[in-house]
Amino acid sequence: MHDFYASSSVTPPPADVEPGVAPANVTANPLPLVAVSTMPPEAEAPNEESNGTTSDESTNRPRQRILEFHPSKIIKNDIGDKNFSILIDEARYCSVEEQMAVTVRFLDDHGELQERFLAIKHITDCTSAGIKEALVDVLDYHGLQISRLCGQGYDGASNMRGEFNGLQKLVRDEAPYAFYVHYFAHQLQLVVVNVAQCSPAIADFFNYIPLIVTQVRSSCKRKDALLAKHQDELLDLMENGKISSGTWLDQESSITRPGDTRWGSHLRTLLRIFTMWNAVVDVLGIVVVDAREHTCQGGASGLLIKMECFEFVFIMFFSINLLSTTNYLSQALQRKNQNVVEAMHLILDVKESLQDMRDNGWESLFSQAKNFCEAHDIDVPNMDDLVGAMGQSVRTKNKVTRLHYYKVTIFNVAIDATITEMNHRFNEVSTELLDCISCLNPANNFSKFNADKLIRLAEIYAEDFT
């Protein structure tokens, strides 16, 4: 959005063509002004002798025509007295300035959803009150009343979604039915990020993952060696009949670093490390032997020791299983044709799958990690040995068995944190509201109509139902 308007050669008309003064640093939507160029030439240069108009009148006539195509007029005429919702995305621009992009959504006279980009506004005060003041300026500039808001969509920042002092609360003080809904796919990514930090052992595991990726692909030589060894391993598996060949199967792949803002990157990185395990270990071994600097040798050796231990393998398999459960929901929520009711059911299904994993998934997970370690000559410790609780020193008096450490401190804690985070992110207010609205879907002759949901919707929007 920023790149498009930054590269656009079309600029809004000067402020003197519109009654009132535009607020500072507001860039209005320039697209409707393209229609100005379609005006006939005679409208721009009227004949003064034939119509008897003065020079000032002939000059103001095209200016009045331009005013008719002003984006504020067009958006205001499109919305009229209808209710509307807003979408706001706050980000730092390349000029190191906080900017806020504002988009409005509404239903037109034909009942179809329309979306209009309003402005990109520079923000000097990033508090909820400062953002609200900037939002009001943008709405006033386009002749829209904040009292007609019926929905808000922001990111998960505390100054936006705060229940007591956030922007959504300040807006609802003036528009009580402007319910706040956080983008579901973004919420789920925040859940994934929380999983990577839910316990000391898992947080330490994800701290090592970027270091491993950097070591094995920091140079062209290492990357080529990684791909060559992985290719040799695939050919060997094919010859032994352990994997099959075919179109789109066993394609050349590499490893990328996981990122909190790249959806699904945590799972993709772990899956690549799992499938390229032998190649990664071999490349780290090459670095230990051939590196000229002792720091590189020591770093690769430490990573090799870290990888070839049961705890690393156990957390890798556990994270893959856990993130695979949420990844399907993430992919579904990002589909443009996603049905609201289906999305609600998917969220409930994921919560049930997580609870089932907690109740019945331990044995299979432990077997996966144990079998992998035995196949790759990694020692499996005795689960009855005593270790420090919560990963503490072995000299601590608070000791637990390894079984308790892996099952309770890591397995149960991570799943409980994920379920809790999902319940917090996908709260009952937003999910119930969308579920109730879905009963008005006219598809398939209102097949989703439900009288109970309609009654509940009338209770939520009490003033709109009489």
What does pTM read for this prediction?
0.66
Percent residues over pLDDT 70 in the chain: 72
More confident residue, 237 or 136: 136
pLDDT of residue 219: 74
Q: Count other Cβ atoms within 10 Å, centred on residue 289.
A: 9
Cα-based distances in Å from 80 to 83, 143, 146, 175, 344: 9, 10, 13, 17, 32
Calculate the CA 133 to chain-centre distance. Answer: 26
Q: How confident is the model at residue 8 (pLDDT cuts 50, 70, 90)?
A: very low
Residue boundaries of the structural domains of the chain: 71-182, 190-244+253-426
Q: Per-residue pLDDT for 162 more than 80? A: no
- Mean pLDDT of the region 274-295: 83
pLDDT of residue 359: 93
Comparing C-alpha atoms, which of 381, 423, 429 is closest to residue 402?
Answer: 381
Q: Per-residue pLDDT for 461 more than 60? A: yes
Q: For 8-17, 53-62, 283-292, 433-442, which range has the lowest pLDDT when averaged over its residues?
A: 8-17
pLDDT of residue 40: 40
Comparing C-alpha atoms, which of 203, 211, 204 is closest to residue 295?
Answer: 211
Report the topology of domain 71-182. Answer: Nucleotidyltransferase; domain 5 (3.30.420)
pLDDT of residue 72: 72
Q: Tell me: the pLDDT tens digits for 107-125? A: 888 888 888 888 888 888 8
pLDDT of residue 357: 93
**How far apart are the C-alpha atoms of 254 and 284, rounded to whole Å?**
15
Q: In what order do the strands lie in the sheet with 179-180?
A: 26-28, 113-122, 98-107, 84-92, 149-153, 179-180
- Mean pLDDT of the region 440-453: 81
Most confident of 134-138, 163-167, 440-444: 134-138
Q: Per-residue pLDDT for 299 more than 50? A: yes
